[in-house]
Amino acid sequence: MKQFLAFVKKEFYHVLRDRRTLLILFGMPIAQILIFGFALTNEVKNEKILIVDNAKDISSRRIISEIEASKYFQIENPVSDPNQITRAFKRGIIRVALIFPAGFHNDLMHLHKAQIQIIADASDPNVATTLTNYISAIIQDYQLNINQTYQIPFQIIPEIRMLYNPELKGAPNFVPGVMALVLMLICVLMTAISIVKEKETGTMEILLVSPFKPVLVILAKAVPYLILSLINVVTILLLSIFVLKVPVRGSVLLLFAESTLFIITCLTLGIFISIKTNTQQVAMLVSLMGMLLPTVLFSGFMFPIENMPVALQAFSNLVPSKWFYIIVKSIMIKGVGFSVIWKETLALLGITLFLFFISIKSFKIRMA
Amino acid sequence: MPGVVVKTDKLTKRFGDFIAVNEISFEVFKGEIFGFLGANGAGKTTAMRMLIGLSKPTSGSAVVAGFDVYKQTENIKRNIGYMSQKFSLYEDLTVLENISFYGGIYGLSDAEIRTKSDLLITELGLENQAKKLVASLPLGWKQKLSFLVALLHEPKIIFLDEPTGGVDPLTRRQFWDLIYAASDKGITIFVTTHYMDEAEYCNRISIMVDGKIEALDSPQNLKKKFNANSMNEVFYELARGAKRAE
């Protein structure tokens, strides 16, 4: 145990003395959270909206003037042909349209119930949700207004259509995505590089000749990154809660337990890469191309998996970050407990055990 | 008769059809400086790796520091020191940190590490550099330091794999002073080298050609036997017959 601690201490020296490592380790998560949080914001202002008013009555005009008055929307020249709406969406001129049916006011007054259609371009699901929410809110305001003056309540039912990505799956929130990305990068890349570095400089041989067990060498290298990664999880969560106002709805303890599991997955991956490669450059390239890219592409963080070809959907199941992303999203945003995410946890655990097994195996082959 | 520290009998290592080390048998005695020579590809590194427990022999037997290379590698590791041709300290750690790290993984107590690092630093005259990063030391100092660090746990035998590569003759000479000092304390030195002047410093040398030991004796006797003036000539005489190129 004392030997192990001496080793871990040395690993911390390595990490803490290298400014570039430190920068990646602690600067990157903060930078990513802030970039995703502020630069890539979903806030809408002066959004162009196309309104098709088939009713042209007092109610439709009042709603239109409310929309006009809000700072969120800018009304495009009215059209009447539905084909023109499609064209405007395809060309990207508008991202949202509102359609009043003929006899809107009439329906509202006599049936106490009227429909209204909101169409949004959901290829960017976050924006689509925001836009439809804003419009729904304006309509609801109007509804409350008229309800005050009449005895029997009126009801306007907005019918919302999401174009291109009807289920809105994809990016309800980026914090879980950044978490997967950062942990992947730090654990896989840093572990792989730090082990391969010992091979490159020749110190690995010295360690293998010492009575210190080879498996312990690997474990001791992984411990500092486990601790530092957990610190990163804390940083990301604090930034998310206090700067971005994205709270953790579910159990923080569960979130940490799942994060630890994912960190171990990544460390195992890093160890596996380090066993298979002999130079730092190759290790870095393999980590970036082989691990980071799939995380970005197949975790569902940037691109909805549902829209991919079946073969790629199947492949995404092998990407550990996909499972972690679903888990974090479920805990943070939906606030669910372990009973809902046990399948994903099991998948992650399975991948980890598999990686661990083949790492140990290839490590033994190398030793012979 | 001094004790035997290394004894091999028909030690062999094959990689598929290739016989890297072919039935070598030799003994190394306590406190001896044993030079292990051979051209590149002659098999000396493979032989050494088997002795230090990094590689399993295909056949034959070997006993190092009293332990069997097949079954007792853990005991062997505890009783040997090793310094590779690559410089083997951590550049981003200070001199003291390197010492306490290696002391730590060999399981020395804090008190032992403290006394030993004091001794070592005085011996090398590194008092002013003790808290500086190893990266800032000249190569010659680094090599001397890594030799003494490899002796920290008081091994019975130390294996040196081309320890003086890339340093000037004067520094090499100083390095050999350290080797003599260790040998005087009864530590056995097993050294591979490319420099024939260093071969002359050894008590006995073996010369490997194509996986076999072709000659084994003291430098004086070898020179007499091959009717040569220097070890260089002896080496050329033997290595000329090699069929393997690198």
* Contact indicator for B208, B36 with CB cutoff of 8 Å: yes
The confidence score (pLDDT) of residue A98 equals: 87
**For residue A167, with 0-12 CB atoms within 10 Å meaning exposed, 13-18 middle and 19 or more buried, which class applies?**
exposed
Q: Which helix (H) or strand (E) holds A158?
A: strand A155-163
Considering only the beta carbons, identify the residue of B54, B82, B92 that sits closest to A13: B92
Phi, psi of A277, rounded to the nearest 5 degrees = -115, 160
CB atoms within 10 A of CB A88: 18
Percentage of the residues of chain B whose pLDDT score is greater than 70:
98
| Residue to test with chain B: of A11, A210, A213, A278, most B Cβ within 10 A | A210
Considering only the beta carbons, identify the residue of A7, A203, A212 that sits closest to B88: A203
Q: How many CB pairs under 8 A join A and B?
A: 76
Tokens standing for B173? Answer: 């000479």
Of all residues in chain B, the one with the smallest CA distance to A5 is B104
pLDDT band at A168 (very low <50, low <70, confident <90, very high): very low
Lowest mean pLDDT among A12-16, A145-149, B221-225: A145-149
The confidence score (pLDDT) of residue B60 equals: 93
pLDDT band at A340 (very low <50, low <70, confident <90, very high): confident
Question: Which conformational region is residue B66 in: left (phi greater than 0), alpha (psi within -120 to 50 degrees), or beta?
Answer: left
With an 8 Å Cβ cutoff, are B88 and A7 in contact? no
Please tell me which residue, A300 or B76, carries the higher pLDDT value.
B76
The DSSP-derived string for B56-99 is --SEEEEEETTEETTT-HHHHHHHEEEE-SS--S-TTSBHHHHH
The confidence score (pLDDT) of residue A153 equals: 65
The confidence score (pLDDT) of residue A41 equals: 55
Considering only the beta carbons, identify the residue of B74, B92, B101 that sits closest to A17: B92
Lowest mean pLDDT among A33-42, A298-307, B64-73: A33-42
CB atoms within 10 A of CB B25: 14
Predicted confidence (pLDDT) per residue in B83-125, tens digit: 987 778 899 999 999 999 999 999 899 999 999 999 999 988 8
Of all residues in chain B, the one with the smallest CA distance to A12 is B93
Lowest mean pLDDT among A31-40, A157-166, B162-171: A157-166
Complex confidence, ipTM: 0.86
Lowest mean pLDDT among A212-226, A290-304, B211-225: A290-304
Percentage of the residues of chain A whose pLDDT score is greater than 70:
88
The arrangement of strands across the sheet holding B212-217 comes to B80-83, B157-161, B188-192, B33-38, B204-209, B212-217
Q: Is residue A322 over pLDDT 50?
A: yes
Q: Is residue A161 over pLDDT 70?
A: no
With an 8 Å Cβ cutoff, are A201 and B77 in contact? no
> Can you tell me the distance from the alpha carbon of A38 to that of B11, in angstroms, rounded to the nearest whole number?
68
Range A34-43 average pLDDT:
65
The DSSP-derived string for A329-360 is HIIIII---HHHHHHHHHHHHHHHHHHHHHHH
Of all residues in chain A, the one with the smallest CA distance to B147 is A206
| Residue to test with chain A: of B85, B101, B105, B152, most A Cβ within 10 A | B105
Of all residues in chain B, the one with the smallest CA distance to A214 is B54
CB atoms within 10 A of CB A69: 9
